[in-house]
């Protein structure tokens, strides 16, 4: 039995498991953001595709070349978001495994001492990868909206008397 300054084993275990839980929360928040961005890409792509299929592409006020560029960019954005979502979900799974490995280690499962830390590091790298794909998607989104604003302003200028 330890002295008064040494926390009991259960408290130590719970304290160790809090860090992966916070990382899970952060990763889940990023997953929600990535899913929202993916939904926006899907909605915008479906709107453009519906106008093209209905033969109303000319009503959008942009050239066919510009529409093709936008659709290609949306395809890239969707791939970036999809990869980000996959990596972020993997990070959640790895952080859950980290938490469980801490509990198993405490229970004397004979795991290597470095195993929980290695899982936490792997999860952090997955977060990094997921975040990098979201930055790439966000940059494409920014370029897309800037072009749409430029086109809309040019259209307004053309219609002014």
Q: What is the pTM of this model?
A: 0.81
Could you report the per-residue pLDDT of 7-34, keeping only the tens digit for each?
Answer: 677 777 777 778 888 889 999 999 999 9
Euclidean distance between CA atoms 89 and 24, whole angstroms: 9
Please, what is the Cα angle at 50 between 47 and 55, to 5 degrees?
130
Cα-Cα end-to-end distance for the chain: 88
Per domain, the residue ranges of the chain are 32-159
Could you report the per-residue pLDDT of 43-68, keeping only the tens digit for each?
Answer: 999 998 998 888 887 787 778 888 89
């Amino acid at each position: 039995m330890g002295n008064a300054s040494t926390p009991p084993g259960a408290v130590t275990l719970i304290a160790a498991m809090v860090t992966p839980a916070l990382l899970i929360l952060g990763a889940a928040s990023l997953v929600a953001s990535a899913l929202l961005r993916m939904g926006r890409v899907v909605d915008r792509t479906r709107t453009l595709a519906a106008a093209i299929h209905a033969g109303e592409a000319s009503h959008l006020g942009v050239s066919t070349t510009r529409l093709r560029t936008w659709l290609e960019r949306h395809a890239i954005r969707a791939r970036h978001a999809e990869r980000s979502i996959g990596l972020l979900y993997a990070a959640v799974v790895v952080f859950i495994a980290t938490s469980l490995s801490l509990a198993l280690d405490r229970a004397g499962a004979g795991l290597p001492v470095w195993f929980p830390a290695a899982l936490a590091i792997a999860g952090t790298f997955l977060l990094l990868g997921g975040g990098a794909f979201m930055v790439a998607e966000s940059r494409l989104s920014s370029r897309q909206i800037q072009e749409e604003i430029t086109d809309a302003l040019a259209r307004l200028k053309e219609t002014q008397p």
